[in-house]
Amino acid sequence: MGMVYSQGLSVIRRMADKTRTAFSTNHSPEPRMTEFESDTLLAALHRHSIELPAVQVEQLDHYCQLLWDWNSKLNLTRHTDYEKFVSRDLIDSMELAKLLGEGEEVLDVGSGGGVPGIPLAILRPDLQLALCESMGKKAAGLEEMVHNLELQTPIYACRAEYLMGDFRFDAVTARAVGPLWKMLKWFDPHWLYIGRLLAIKGPKWPEER
């Protein structure tokens, strides 16, 4: 997975294919999703050669169930099976986790269904992580998920810009929030309060600059 650094901005680029070589040596074609109808999180983790502590696996599994339940009400994600969750959501979150220092203060903007913020909170409990979601119903869903997962993760039901000045963050994370140029425009007046922006983007991200 490639990374580009520019003036405090880190873009995490997804591989165009489905193979995540940092976590898996399986280069066979992606199986049809019908093969995963009776899937488990442990099986999906095993396919991608990911080993996690049992307590984190349990929390992530619980999160999946909460997310998919809320998804029937709010349409939060298209990743509604363990294979998609691991291959897209979890691996993206694990890549972000590598870029964050011990105990850093992190704001996940446009959290939506909680990715990458909630997986990050599970994988890296040392982080001082907060979620920001401007849509009230989605923020309410996040609040319930965080409560049920017993995470110490505050939820801000507002636009991220409104938090700048009152808080300073070592890093801001974002996925599926908007084009890169637009995100940079949003945050341009606020760089004094942001150490760096970590944005998860697809392979065409250079076209967004």
- Domain 3-17+41-208 indexed as CATH 3.10.110.10: no
pTM: 0.82
Domain ranges across the chain: 3-17+41-208
pLDDT digits (tens, 9 = 90+) for 14-45: 433 333 333 333 444 454 444 555 589 999 99
Tokens 């294919």 belong to residue: 17
Helix (H, G, I), strand (E, B) or coil at 126: coil
Residue 12 burial (C-beta neighbours within 10 Å; 0-12, 13-18, 19+): buried
Res. 179 pLDDT band, cuts 50 70 90? confident
Residues 76 and 55 sit within 8 Å (Cβ to Cβ): no
